[in-house]
Chain A
Amino acid sequence: GEKVEQHESTLSVREGDSAVINCTYTDTASSYFPWYKQEAGKSLHFVIDIRSNVDRKQSQRLIVLLDKKAKRFSLHITATQPEDSAIYFCAASPPSGTYQRFGTGTKLQVVP
């Protein structure tokens, strides 16, 4: 079946450095790629997304890159802060947009 794979299960960075989380997908028809954050003890909330008609999107310190040829997308968090520590999930959605298939999550730890 179709899959979304998240390559880093854990990631530790120093405060102020950048963090990069990588995902790949198998469904060539996927056209929408959101990212979600789950803080300790809480549920997921949306942080940023990218659609297949662009290859880069930035929202403040978050940058998403999409390489459709490689079926790969990544989340870059610049100038990391302790409050960025959380589990980050990537997801991919088919053109119908009716559901999202999630990766396994990356636990990011920002060390002071």
Chain B
Amino acid sequence: GGIITQTPKFLIGQEGQKLTLKCQQNFNHDTMYWYRQDSGKGLRLIYYSITENDLQKGDLSEGYDASREKKSSFSLTVTSAQKNEMAVFLCASSPQGTGTEVFFGKGTRLTVV
């Protein structure tokens, strides 16, 4: 088995601040994802990466940057935090291939004051 570790668990930022969320996986999976979870809106895909140094935009990429410098790590940057924003950011990974289950980390809860 493996694990996905997200840091930090909780992140409090100020309006306009640039914030970085980190994710590490030891499954040796090729593909990694960042999803945003809002109450009542489900999970929305922000960015994904199918291999080291690859980046693909999801449905919600505006306002975010991502970086996949190593196979095992995938970071997400909120380029300018929005006031009163509250969401959980979930990192996930899966093996490469046509349709496989995705494994999720425990999330980073963001609050912007």
Residues of A within 8 A of B (CB): 1, 6, 9, 31-32, 34, 36, 42-46, 49, 51, 89, 93, 95-105
Minimum Cβ distance to chain B for residue A102 (Å): 4
Chain A hits for B106, CB < 8 A: 42-43
List the 5 closest A-B pairs by CB distance, nearest first: A32-B99, A104-B42, A97-B98, A46-B101, A102-B43
Residues of B within 8 A of A (CB): 31, 33, 35, 40-45, 48, 50, 56, 58-59, 90, 97-107
A51 touches B99 (CB 8 A): yes
Summed over the interface, the residue pairs from A and B with CB atoms below 8 Å come to a total of 61
**A-B contacts, 18 listed (Cβ < 8 Å):** A31-B98, A34-B101, A42-B106, A43-B90, A43-B106, A43-B107, A44-B90, A45-B104, A46-B101, A46-B102, A93-B99, A97-B98, A98-B48, A102-B35, A102-B43, A102-B44, A103-B42, A104-B41
